[in-house]
Structure 1
Protein backbone atom coordinates (compact mmCIF):
# COMPACT_ATOMS: atom_id res chain seq x y z
CA UNK A 1 0.00 0.00 0.00
CA UNK A 2 2.88 2.39 0.70
CA UNK A 3 3.78 2.44 -2.99
CA UNK A 4 0.31 3.43 -4.18
CA UNK A 5 -0.09 7.06 -5.18
CA UNK A 6 -3.44 8.66 -5.83
CA UNK A 7 -3.99 11.69 -8.03
CA UNK A 8 -5.79 14.70 -6.56
CA UNK A 9 -6.85 16.03 -9.96
CA UNK A 10 -10.48 15.71 -8.85
CA UNK A 11 -10.05 17.75 -5.67
CA UNK A 12 -10.19 21.27 -7.17
CA UNK A 13 -13.35 20.64 -9.30
CA UNK A 14 -14.95 18.86 -6.33
CA UNK A 15 -14.32 21.84 -4.07
CA UNK A 16 -15.67 24.19 -6.77
CA UNK A 17 -18.75 21.96 -7.19
CA UNK A 18 -17.92 21.49 -10.88
CA UNK A 19 -16.91 17.82 -10.76
CA UNK A 20 -18.90 15.93 -13.42
CA UNK A 21 -21.03 12.99 -12.32
CA UNK A 22 -19.20 9.71 -11.86
CA UNK A 23 -21.86 7.69 -13.69
CA UNK A 24 -22.48 8.68 -17.29
CA UNK A 25 -25.96 7.91 -18.56
CA UNK A 26 -24.55 6.13 -21.62
CA UNK A 27 -21.62 4.38 -19.90
CA UNK A 28 -22.69 0.85 -20.91
CA UNK A 29 -23.15 1.86 -24.54
CA UNK A 30 -19.77 3.61 -24.58
CA UNK A 31 -18.04 0.54 -23.13
CA UNK A 32 -19.89 -1.82 -25.50
CA UNK A 33 -18.74 0.30 -28.46
CA UNK A 34 -15.12 -0.51 -27.58
CA UNK A 35 -15.85 -4.14 -28.52
CA UNK A 36 -13.21 -5.40 -26.08
CA UNK A 37 -13.44 -8.07 -23.38
CA UNK A 38 -14.27 -6.35 -20.08
CA UNK A 39 -13.89 -7.53 -16.52
CA UNK A 40 -16.12 -5.54 -14.18
CA UNK A 41 -14.54 -6.14 -10.77
CA UNK A 42 -16.81 -4.78 -8.09
CA UNK A 43 -17.21 -4.76 -4.33
CA UNK A 44 -20.63 -5.68 -2.92
CA UNK A 45 -20.08 -3.13 -0.10
CA UNK A 46 -19.34 -0.24 -2.52
CA UNK A 47 -21.67 2.62 -1.57
CA UNK A 48 -20.40 4.93 -4.33
CA UNK A 49 -21.23 2.60 -7.21
CA UNK A 50 -23.67 -0.05 -5.99
CA UNK A 51 -22.94 -3.59 -7.21
CA UNK A 52 -26.18 -3.82 -9.24
CA UNK A 53 -24.62 -1.29 -11.65
CA UNK A 54 -21.92 -3.81 -12.59
CA UNK A 55 -24.44 -6.64 -12.80
CA UNK A 56 -26.69 -4.55 -15.05
CA UNK A 57 -23.73 -3.51 -17.24
CA UNK A 58 -22.81 -7.18 -17.69
CA UNK A 59 -26.27 -7.79 -19.17
CA UNK A 60 -25.96 -4.80 -21.51
CA UNK A 61 -22.40 -5.46 -22.74
CA UNK A 62 -21.93 -8.77 -24.55
CA UNK A 63 -18.16 -8.78 -23.98
CA UNK A 64 -18.36 -8.08 -20.23
CA UNK A 65 -18.10 -10.33 -17.21
CA UNK A 66 -19.02 -8.96 -13.78
CA UNK A 67 -17.31 -10.36 -10.70
CA UNK A 68 -18.72 -9.02 -7.44
CA UNK A 69 -16.64 -9.61 -4.32
CA UNK A 70 -18.98 -9.81 -1.33
CA UNK A 71 -16.43 -8.62 1.25
CA UNK A 72 -14.95 -5.77 -0.85
CA UNK A 73 -15.77 -2.07 -0.82
CA UNK A 74 -15.16 0.67 -3.38
CA UNK A 75 -11.55 -0.38 -4.02
CA UNK A 76 -12.25 -4.03 -4.73
CA UNK A 77 -8.91 -4.46 -6.51
CA UNK A 78 -7.17 -3.71 -3.18
CA UNK A 79 -9.67 -5.30 -0.80
Structure 2
Protein backbone atom coordinates (compact mmCIF):
# COMPACT_ATOMS: atom_id res chain seq x y z
CA UNK A 1 0.00 0.00 0.00
CA UNK A 2 1.35 3.40 -0.94
CA UNK A 3 1.07 6.27 1.49
CA UNK A 4 -2.23 8.12 1.37
CA UNK A 5 -2.22 11.69 2.69
CA UNK A 6 -5.31 13.64 3.68
CA UNK A 7 -4.95 17.30 4.63
CA UNK A 8 -7.14 19.23 7.06
CA UNK A 9 -7.57 22.92 7.81
CA UNK A 10 -7.53 23.55 11.56
CA UNK A 11 -10.15 26.05 12.70
CA UNK A 12 -10.77 27.29 16.22
CA UNK A 13 -12.37 30.29 17.91
CA UNK A 14 -9.50 32.53 16.71
CA UNK A 15 -9.62 31.50 13.03
CA UNK A 16 -12.09 30.69 10.25
CA UNK A 17 -12.50 28.33 7.31
CA UNK A 18 -11.38 31.20 5.07
CA UNK A 19 -8.27 31.78 7.19
CA UNK A 20 -7.49 28.58 9.14
CA UNK A 21 -5.21 28.71 12.14
CA UNK A 22 -3.18 25.79 10.88
CA UNK A 23 -2.96 22.64 8.81
CA UNK A 24 -2.74 18.96 9.69
CA UNK A 25 -2.05 15.94 7.54
CA UNK A 26 -3.02 12.33 8.19
CA UNK A 27 -0.66 9.86 6.57
CA UNK A 28 -1.97 6.34 6.14
CA UNK A 29 0.63 3.66 5.38
CA UNK A 30 1.20 -0.07 5.72
CA UNK A 31 2.04 0.28 9.42
CA UNK A 32 -1.08 2.29 10.26
CA UNK A 33 -1.40 6.04 10.31
CA UNK A 34 0.14 9.14 11.85
CA UNK A 35 -1.06 12.70 12.14
CA UNK A 36 1.25 15.68 11.76
CA UNK A 37 0.58 19.40 12.12
CA UNK A 38 2.67 22.10 10.49
CA UNK A 39 4.00 24.05 13.46
CA UNK A 40 5.11 27.62 14.10
CA UNK A 41 8.64 26.11 14.16
CA UNK A 42 8.06 25.55 10.40
CA UNK A 43 8.27 21.77 10.58
CA UNK A 44 5.74 18.92 10.49
CA UNK A 45 5.41 17.32 13.93
CA UNK A 46 3.24 14.51 15.25
CA UNK A 47 -0.03 15.79 16.63
CA UNK A 48 -2.80 14.13 18.64
CA UNK A 49 -5.29 16.90 17.75
CA UNK A 50 -7.33 15.13 15.06
CA UNK A 51 -7.48 11.91 17.05
CA UNK A 52 -8.64 13.92 20.09
CA UNK A 53 -11.30 15.61 17.97
CA UNK A 54 -12.54 12.23 16.79
CA UNK A 55 -12.86 11.27 20.46
CA UNK A 56 -14.98 14.30 21.34
CA UNK A 57 -12.52 17.15 22.00
CA UNK A 58 -14.20 20.24 20.54
CA UNK A 59 -11.28 22.69 20.86
CA UNK A 60 -10.59 22.61 17.08
CA UNK A 61 -12.59 21.79 13.98
CA UNK A 62 -10.93 19.95 11.10
CA UNK A 63 -12.04 20.39 7.48
CA UNK A 64 -10.66 18.21 4.68
CA UNK A 65 -8.81 20.30 2.11
CA UNK A 66 -6.73 19.69 -1.00
CA UNK A 67 -2.95 19.47 -0.96
CA UNK A 68 -2.86 22.79 -2.81
CA UNK A 69 -4.94 24.47 -0.10
CA UNK A 70 -2.71 22.93 2.57
CA UNK A 71 0.43 24.29 0.89
CA UNK A 72 -1.13 27.77 0.77
CA UNK A 73 -1.66 27.60 4.54
CA UNK A 74 1.92 26.38 5.02
CA UNK A 75 3.19 29.23 2.84
CA UNK A 76 1.15 31.76 4.85
CA UNK A 77 2.54 30.43 8.13
CA UNK A 78 6.08 30.67 6.73
CA UNK A 79 5.42 34.18 5.48
CA UNK A 80 4.05 35.30 8.84
CA UNK A 81 7.17 33.91 10.52
CA UNK A 82 9.42 35.91 8.21
CA UNK A 83 10.77 32.77 6.51
CA UNK A 84 10.07 32.12 2.84
CA UNK A 85 11.56 28.62 2.41
TM-score norm. by structure 2 comes to: 0.28
